Amino acid sequence: MNYFSSGFKLGILGGGQLGKMLLAETRKFDIQTYVLDPSAEAPGRLACNVFQQGNLMDFETVYNFGKQVDILTFEIELVNIAALEKLESEGIKIYPSPKTLKRIQNKGIQKDFYKTHNIASAPYQRFENANALKTAISENKVLLPFVWKCTEFGYDGNGVKVIRKTEDCDLLPNVECISEEMIPFKNELAVIVTRNVSGEIKTYPVVEMEFHPEANQVEYVICPARIDDAVAEKARKLALEVSKAFEHVGLLAVEMFQTTSDEILVNEVAPRPHNSGHYSIEASYTSQFENHLRAILDLPLGDTGSKVAGIMVNLVGEEGHSGDVLYENMEAILGWHGVTPHIYGKRQTRPFRKMGHVTIVNEDISEARKIAEKVKKTIKVISK
């Protein structure tokens, strides 16, 4: 099929920052794009050929949107799977497939999948709701401390909490959840795997993630990870194993723990472009967004190697600020060597909301890390 400067239509479910960055690649190749998003102010609305506002969880909305396009992809997992299954049965190509999405969308099902496929992951238990979890704690079937995760709708650090005492459970929503053993780890790592329709597969280098202590959000993504080559090789090997089990097409971001004994455990996965791969826009030969596009269109995959070391700094809303956004001191960082800001286009800020990111590229990873720290301290995402 001729994708370029033709009548071909690519549909994207979700027009957030991931959709916006994916659309930069479709514009480069002149591919017609249709985007569906619930918000009239979605960041991706200006970069597509056709923008439609609608509920991604509504069957009719997703089904009717999908009927307009040749291939459908998504930038968020929370979409109506029944609609995708019907579209697929009627010949619409959907990548990653509804089958893959079904295994990932619910974190409980995702954890069961790892267990079934003997993929190393932290021990866990599933619960119908928080009340059932509290009962299990009272019966000593769940030991404190542990990590609580809601099985659905948990994004941007929401839906994950460390439970240190029984009273912490009183603040939890009464929804389906899992309790996960707290793993003593020294690093949180991620590997992005890209796989096209024909089965060609490549991995990006292992990245290291530094988290905000309160918000459970990534503050820095460091590529390459500052780990031994043997550990990096183990992580890439496990990521390929996970990719093979899910049989995905497109990108699969595999988040992992490096334990204190250098064991690698899968934390969770995302079947789409991912925060841990944003550095690739400036630092890699082929960005994660271009490779997602190449994969779903069954084109040869691009080089996933890095041209230079890269660090990404997430720009999130400052605590105590809600309302119309103001990026304080942006002009200051624009004069610094190797620094590139990306503003997502969200007009309203709130505490810890992802509003943008900044990439720092440098031949020296330790120098890049110093500049990243400086960027973090300089830019403030506040309200007017």
Q: Which helix (H) or strand (E) holds 314?
A: strand 309-316
- For 290, the 3-state DSSP assignment is helix
Is residue 75 marked as binding? no
Task: Tell me the pairing of strands 50-53 and 32-37.
Answer: parallel
Non-local (6+) Cβ contacts of 168 within 8 A are 161
Is residue 183 marked as binding? yes
Q: Edge-to-edge, what's the strand order for the sheet holding 348-349?
A: 348-349, 323-328, 380-383
Q: How far is residue 138's CA from residue 78's CA, in Å, rounded to a whole number? A: 33
Q: In which residue are the tokens 């990521």 written? A: 239
Q: What's the sign of the alpha-carbon dihedral 256, 79, 148, 157?
A: positive
Cβ–Cβ < 8 Å for 85, 100: no
Is residue 188 marked as binding? yes
Q: How far is residue 12's CA from residue 43's CA, in Å, rounded to a whole number? A: 13
- For 71, the 3-state DSSP assignment is strand
Q: How far is residue 112's CA from residue 81's CA, in Å, rounded to a whole number? A: 19
Q: How far is residue 187's CA from residue 285's CA, in Å, rounded to a whole number? A: 26
Is residue 80 marked as binding? no
> Which among 235, 218, 217 is positioned nearest to 226, based on CA atoms?
235
Q: How far is residue 85's CA from residue 94's CA, in Å, rounded to a whole number? A: 9
Q: How far is residue 246's CA from residue 97's CA, in Å, rounded to a whole number? A: 10
Is residue 267 marked as binding? yes
> Cα 87 from chain centroid?
25
> Which among 265, 245, 235, 263 is positioned nearest to 117, based on CA atoms?
245
Amino acid at 63: Y
- For 99, the 3-state DSSP assignment is helix
- For 168, the 3-state DSSP assignment is helix
Is residue 9 marked as binding? no
Is residue 180 marked as binding? yes
Q: How far is residue 186's CA from residue 258's CA, in Å, rounded to a whole number? A: 6
Binding residue numbers: 107, 149, 180-183, 188, 267-268
Binding residue numbers for ATP: 107, 149, 180-183, 188, 267-268
